[in-house]
Amino acid sequence: MTRYFDHPWVLGLGVVVAMLAAAMIILGHRRRQERLARFGSPEALVRLGPPGLAVVPRWRAARLALAALLFGIALAGPRWGEGRAIVDTDGIDVALALDVSLSMLAEDEKPNRLERMKQEVRRLRASAPGDRVALLAFAGRSYILAPLTSDDGALELFLENLDPTIVGQVGSALAPPLRQGIELLLASDGSADRALVVMSDGEAFDDRAAALTLAREAKARDVHVVTVGFGTPGGATIPLLESGGADVKRDQDGEVVVTRYDETLLREVAEAAGGEFIPADATDKGTRVRRALAELEGVRREEQQRLARPVRYQWFLGLALLLLLLDAYLADGGRLRRRAVAALFALMLPNVASAQGDQLQDAIKAHKDGRILPAIRTYREVLGTGDRRPIVLYNLGTALLAADSLDAAVDALERASFAPDPELRRRSLYNLGLAYLKRGMRGDGDARSNALRSARRSFRTVLLETPGDKDAQWNYELSLRAPQGGGGGGGAQPPQQGPQQRPTEQQGQMSRQQAEALLDAASREERETQARRQRGARAPRARGEKDW
């Protein structure tokens, strides 16, 4: 771990002061012994004086010297690790749709197209730290990796782990990320301008008409579109991850696949959306993207951001004060020790409880302000301190549900549903049912049926305790009407996001528009799945059909 000090010279001064403190204690003891020697022999003084009169106070000298050294370290301004701070930012909302198909592993750009794309995303983030950014990964399908956030740590975590294995459907399709990016941006709250940036090698798209239709829709809804190309026209082979790069991708005939950059559709999408196309041979694409978005109007926000190596003087200052208290306690002679111990515990224990309470309140405030990812991290930190109360689990599960992390939300809310408080138990069960309902809307086959069954069980329990809960009634009926085995679901209604989706006193509910967008997306995916099934499963794939 990298550590450094704001004022390194103070460390030397601290060492000198520590040595002087120890020397003064020893010298003071000797002078006292010299004065006492005038009144009698050392044996008489030991017999008539208090205990320890003749003992050299070496331990006290060590305590005070260490306290002085710790004060010096605190004054030097030690720094390490990471911290957080609330800062004012000004930026727009940007959805980054990143191509993670197999063709992005081609090495015609060094080290490969995918890594080069990550570098450009980092440059873009560095040039616009105030923007809220969402990450979408796409190949044959599109997935939301991170909702809109300005948390660089969370974005970097997703970006670092970005590779073709996170998308289950092979191939390349541009329409799904365009549709999902537009819906995500329109569902966001705030008045900042919106932009959708698509980064891809442009190869193997088979949905040109749908992509152009969505590009025109983005223009009509004031979503600025920028497309960015990667790769070379000459192309390159595709190393296979499972072979460690030793083997390359081959088609159905066993011929080595050569993937080539194709700018045609990327350019057409940008033109249809009234946006900008940045070709693959452009240098510093991240800066070019930022320049293309420079005219968009941002909004001022308060954001919680991470700090690299914040000042950590509090630890050393606290230890120094404790040593001074210990010295006073031991030097007292036993007359006031009981009161000193009581006062020390009275000072320390409320502070520990207050620190945990402040941390929880910070998480709740972040959740109420819509900063879901920072809230989730802080809730988990509270749990890490040993505070596993049902209310903390409920808050964490609710935040995870808002962030669309359904599996983790189910785990936290299931544990919170055993709370002794009836109101907290009801809220936990409601949100648990909502998580299962969302999972069921997106699932297929047995997974869909099991999730909907669990949703019905949760909402039924809520209705047994509070029969007049209209939102629970709505969602219970929805879980009954939803197709159980993976049908179309086109006529289903959106789940009711009642007041339950809030931390402590229920915070952060999604709007009905967001709920409708969620269900519409699930319905479209179901219809597409059924259409593919009706066309028949094709294994192996049709000759000439690209799966990279």
Q: What ranges make up the beta strands (E) of 361-518?
A: none
pLDDT of 230 > 80? The answer is yes
Q: Give the lowest-confidence range in 30-39, 135-144, 364-373.
A: 30-39
Give domain status of residue 372, yes or no.
Answer: no
Q: What ranges make up the beta strands (E) of 202-336?
A: 223-229, 236-237, 258-259, 276-278, 299-308
Q: Give, as one character, the DSSP assignment of residue 206.
A: -
Q: What is the pLDDT of residues 486-544, one digit of tens each?
A: 433 333 344 444 333 444 433 333 344 444 444 455 445 545 544 444 444 334 445 55
pLDDT, residue 216, reads 95
pLDDT, residue 137, reads 92
The answer to whether residues 218 and 91 belong to one domain is: yes
Q: Which of 238, 271, 304 represents a domain boundary (last residue)?
A: 304
The answer to whether residues 101 and 179 belong to one domain is: yes
Q: Which of 270, 304, 338 represents a domain boundary (last residue)?
A: 304
pLDDT, residue 279, reads 94
Instruction: Please name the residue that has the structure tokens 């900042």.
Output: 192
For residue 161, give its domain range: 84-304
CATH number of the domain bearing residue 99: 3.40.50.410
The answer to whether residues 190 and 299 belong to one domain is: yes
Contacts of 471 (CB under 8 A, 6+ apart): 430, 496, 497, 498, 499, 500
| Mean pLDDT, residues 218-241 taken together | 91
The answer to whether residues 207 and 291 belong to one domain is: yes
The answer to whether residues 275 and 321 belong to one domain is: no
Rounded alpha-carbon distances, angstroms, from residue 254 to 103, 243, 248, 548: 17, 16, 11, 15
The answer to whether residues 136 and 229 belong to one domain is: yes
CA 236 to CA 234: how far, in whole Å? 7
The answer to whether residues 174 and 295 belong to one domain is: yes
CA 376 to CA 304: how far, in whole Å? 13
pLDDT of 318 > 60? The answer is yes
Residue, of 367 and 124, whose pLDDT is higher: 124
Q: Which of 273, 304, 335 represents a domain boundary (last residue)?
A: 304
The answer to whether residues 445 and 470 belong to one domain is: yes
pLDDT of 5 > 80? The answer is no
Most confident of 114-118, 189-193, 318-322: 114-118
**β-pairing verdict for 142-149 and 194-200:** unpaired
**How many domains does one find in the chain?**
3
Per residue, the 3-state secondary structure of 298-355, as one string, reads CEEEEEEEEEECCECHHHHHHHHHHHHHHHHHHHCCCCCHHHHHHHHHHHHHHHHHHH
Residue, of 302 and 264, whose pLDDT is higher: 264
The answer to whether residues 138 and 9 belong to one domain is: no
Count how many residues are written for the chain.
548
Give domain status of residue 442, yes or no.
Answer: yes
Give the distance from CA 268 to its chain's centroid: 35
Give domain status of residue 371, yes or no.
Answer: no
Give domain status of residue 63, yes or no.
Answer: yes
Give domain status of residue 358, yes or no.
Answer: no
CA 535 to CA 531: how far, in whole Å? 6
pLDDT band at residue 447, thresholds of 50, 70 and 90? confident
Residue, of 491 and 354, whose pLDDT is higher: 354
The answer to whether residues 12 and 26 belong to one domain is: yes
| Mean pLDDT, residues 37-59 taken together | 64
| Mean pLDDT, residues 136-156 taken together | 84
pLDDT, residue 136, reads 93
pLDDT of 359 > 50? The answer is yes
pLDDT of 335 > 90? The answer is no
The answer to whether residues 336 and 484 belong to one domain is: no
Are 97 and 181 within 8 A, CB to CB?
yes
Give domain status of residue 347, yes or no.
Answer: yes
The answer to whether residues 165 and 291 belong to one domain is: yes
CA 158 to CA 160: how far, in whole Å? 6
Most confident of 122-126, 295-299, 470-474, 494-498: 122-126
**Tokens, residue 2:** 């990298």
What mean pLDDT value characterizes the chain? Answer: 77
CA 483 to CA 527: how far, in whole Å? 12
Give domain status of residue 389, yes or no.
Answer: no
Q: What is the pLDDT of residues 276-303, one digit of tens each?
A: 999 999 888 998 999 999 888 877 766 5
Residue, of 449 and 506, whose pLDDT is higher: 449
Give domain status of residue 377, yes or no.
Answer: no
pLDDT band at residue 304, thresholds of 50, 70 and 90? low
